[in-house]
Amino acid sequence: MAQTKHEIQAILTAASMEPRHRFGQNFMIDGNLVRLVAEAGEIAVGDLAVEVGPGTGTLTDELLLRGAEVVAVEIDRDLAGALRERFADRPHFRLIEGDALAGKHAVNRELSAVLRAARIATPQRPQKLVANLPYNIASPLVIELLIEGLDLLVFTVQKEVGDRLRAAAGSEAYGPLTVTAQLLSQVEVLRTLPPQAFWPQPKIDSSLVRVRRKDRLGDQAVAFGRFVHQLFSARRKTLRKALTQAGYAADELIAKHALDGQARPETLSPEVIHELFLSSHPPSELSPVAKSRR
């Protein structure tokens, strides 16, 4: 059963702690939301569910009750201790204590090793993220977990990130996160969530997002991500200027794809940006990245 606000407060008090802003801690206190998140994750018996930021374990408990094998990643030492105690007798619970990211562009090494080992042991078993994501790591983590090979990601996140994931070319929210995510997956924003669904209440609305892996980048994902960031390094640049400053043959690429050199990169669709990337990077430059699953 989902924990109430008072139950979460009691757990924290017993551990002599309060919500820690630096870890982006906002706990789900709406039982209906906890169940909704698990249902959106399409959890079936035997699925491997990664939960980043399990907090006091309310969503963790729901995932275990539905038959998932849960790999939880918790950076907060005190919460990690409470989770170990709470789930000590649950054989399908595994805790990784630490940051879910190893630097800005890599998944926690222990988590990556667990996922690889599970894929080797049971290659057909779905691997999913189902989590109330800490706001401060959501954007890079979503991309890195898609590159890592997870099949489905369902998470709550600040509405701004949800808007960026599904943004259309030319819109204010459109950027590198949008382009890379839409070439790695199909993005759905399932619901907008009010601040009252969490404690402490965030100052903004949140979104429940489902990202289904649909990879069109393969081993090129990391190199493509660098290319996109080069194009978007400064908004308001023209496409010609952005390509030139990044060291590419701008006029040749623009002519090849019949593009307007005075257009801004943020007006180009993910598909067009991908075509530009392929034209500007010979196959010999695109060394395989072992992270890619398919």
SS3 readout for 40-78: HCCCCCCCEEEEECCCCCHHHHHHHHCCCEEEEEECCHH
Q: Is 50 exceeded by the pLDDT of residue 289?
A: no
Residue with tokens 């959890």: 43
Q: What is the percent of the chain where pLDDT is above 90?
A: 87
Q: Which domains does the chain have, with CATH numbers?
A: 5-215 (3.40.50.150), 220-285 (1.10.8.100)
Residue 14, pLDDT score: 87
Classify residue 118 by burial, with Cβ atoms within 10 Å: 0-12, 13-18, 19+: middle
pLDDT category of residue 291 using cuts at 50, 70 and 90: very low
pLDDT category of residue 285 using cuts at 50, 70 and 90: low
Encode burial over 262-294: b for 16+ CB neighbours within 10 A, e otherwise: eebbbebebeebbbbbeebbeeeebeeeebbbe
* Average of per-residue pLDDT across 60-83: 96
CA–CA separation, 120 and 127 (whole Å):
12
Identify the bridge partners of residue 52 per DSSP, sorted by sequence position: 73
Q: What is the percent of the chain where pLDDT is above 70?
A: 96
Q: Is 60 exceeded by the pLDDT of residue 195?
A: yes
* Longest distance between any two alpha carbons in the chain, whole Å: 66
Residue 275 gets the label, from left (phi > 0), alpha (psi -120 to 50) or beta, of alpha
* Average of per-residue pLDDT across 107-121: 97
Mean pLDDT of the chain: 93
CA–CA separation, 294 and 292 (whole Å):
6
Written as six digits, the tokens of 169 are 């070319």
* Average of per-residue pLDDT across 18-44: 94
In the chain, the N- to C-terminal Cα span, in Å, equals 37
pLDDT category of residue 143 using cuts at 50, 70 and 90: very high
Under a CB-based contact definition with an 8 Å cutoff, are residues 23 and 94 in contact?
A: no
Residue 292, pLDDT score: 40
Residue 189, pLDDT score: 97
Q: Is 50 exceeded by the pLDDT of residue 290?
A: no
Beta strands in the chain (DSSP E): 27-28, 48-52, 69-74, 93-97, 127-132, 152-158, 185-193, 198-199, 206-213
Q: Is 90 exceeded by the pLDDT of residue 44?
A: yes
Residue 157, pLDDT score: 96
Q: Is 80 exceeded by the pLDDT of residue 202?
A: yes
Residue 63, pLDDT score: 98
Residue 16, pLDDT score: 86
* Average of per-residue pLDDT across 35-64: 97
Single pTM value for the model: 0.92
Average the pLDDT over each of 45-49, 106-110, 226-230, 289-293 and give the range with the smallest value: 289-293
pLDDT category of residue 284 using cuts at 50, 70 and 90: low
> Which residues have a Cβ under 8 Å from the Cβ of 282 and sit 6 or more positions away?
none
CA–CA separation, 59 and 102 (whole Å):
24
Q: Look up residue 151 and give its amino acid.
A: D
